[in-house]
Amino acid sequence: MTVETFPVGPLQCNCTILGDEATGEAIVIDPGEEIGRIERRLKELRLKVKQILITHGHIDHVGGALKLKRLTGAPILMNENDMMQLNMMDKQAAWLGVATPETSAPDGSLTNGMKLELGVEQGQVVHTPGHTQGSVCVHFAAMKLLVAGDTLFRGSIGRTDLPGGNQRQILESIHSRLLVLPEETRVIPGHGPLTTIGEERQDNPFLVLR
């Protein structure tokens, strides 16, 4: 299994390509920007995108999704509770002082417990509201891998001061749905360096004080 993460766009959103060499299929998570670069990498890896997953509806994570869908034909999946984020894309763009990217309603919702398949690997959607109401993480248990969006960062957690944010709820999501995962689980956050569940359980100042 190929797991490749690289930051895209001015806010350096971590875009992740999960690729299965045997079937040549890939899942792309959070293609926020730099779609040309993502497409080039997919070609180099000889991967064909089967699904585009969006961890939440913030501009830096979803901004390039429609472009990638048009290039690949792959469906876009995002939790339905973040439709409000798509509907205020012009506002999100104005906050950053950038042009409003074209978006479209997702082709399906990422609901809690929903199964994902990539080759022989099985993933599961974990709904973790708090950063936004539709924030999700993607967990591949056998690979011990969690793609966490903006819910959990190395040494930090997602901000909750934007529309749809709720601090009590993000803490509840992290404690009840993420910190219960095996400590060796590698975490790919939505921004910044990678970490593990064990490290965050032990050292994350937002989480150890409860």
Does 150 bind Zn ion (CB under 5 A)? Our answer is yes
Does 129 bind Zn ion (CB under 5 A)? Our answer is no
Shortest distance in whole angstroms from residue 43 CB to Zn ion: 28
Closer residue to Zn ion (CB): 19 or 149 = 149
User: In the range 39-68, which residues lie near Zn ion by CB under 5 A?
Assistant: 58
**What is the distance between the alpha carbons of residues 8 and 76, in angstroms, rounded to a whole number?**
18
Shortest distance in whole angstroms from residue 158 CB to Zn ion: 6
Residue 91: which residues within 8 A CB-CB, separation 6 or more? none
Q: Which two tokens stand for residue 137?
A: 């993480």
**What is the distance between the alpha carbons of residues 133 and 55, in angstroms, rounded to a whole number?**
11
Closer residue to Zn ion (CB): 40 or 91 = 91
Shortest distance in whole angstroms from residue 182 CB to Zn ion: 26
Q: Number of residues in contact with Zn ion, rule: CB under 5 A?
A: 2
Closer residue to Zn ion (CB): 72 or 173 = 173
Closer residue to Zn ion (CB): 13 or 116 = 13
- Buried b or exposed e, range 151-171, using 16+ CB within 10 angstroms: bbbbbbbbebeeebbeeebbb
Closer residue to Zn ion (CB): 19 or 31 = 31
Provide the strand spans (E) within the chain.
2-8, 13-20, 25-29, 48-54, 76-78, 115-118, 121-127, 136-140, 145-149, 152-153, 156-157, 186-189, 195-196
Closer residue to Zn ion (CB): 34 or 150 = 150
Shortest distance in whole angstroms from residue 131 CB to Zn ion: 6
Give yes or no for a contact between 112 and 125, defined as CB atoms under 8 angstroms apart.
Answer: yes
Please state the φ and ψ torsions of residue 5, each to the nearest 5 degrees. Answer: -125, 135
User: CB 62: neighbour CB atoms within 10 A?
Assistant: 27
Shortest distance in whole angstroms from residue 130 CB to Zn ion: 11
Residue 178 is given by DSSP the state I
Shortest distance in whole angstroms from residue 160 CB to Zn ion: 10
Only segment of 88-96, 146-154, 163-171, 193-201 that touches Zn ion (CB under 5 A): 146-154
Residue ranges binding Zn ion (CB under 5 A):
58, 150
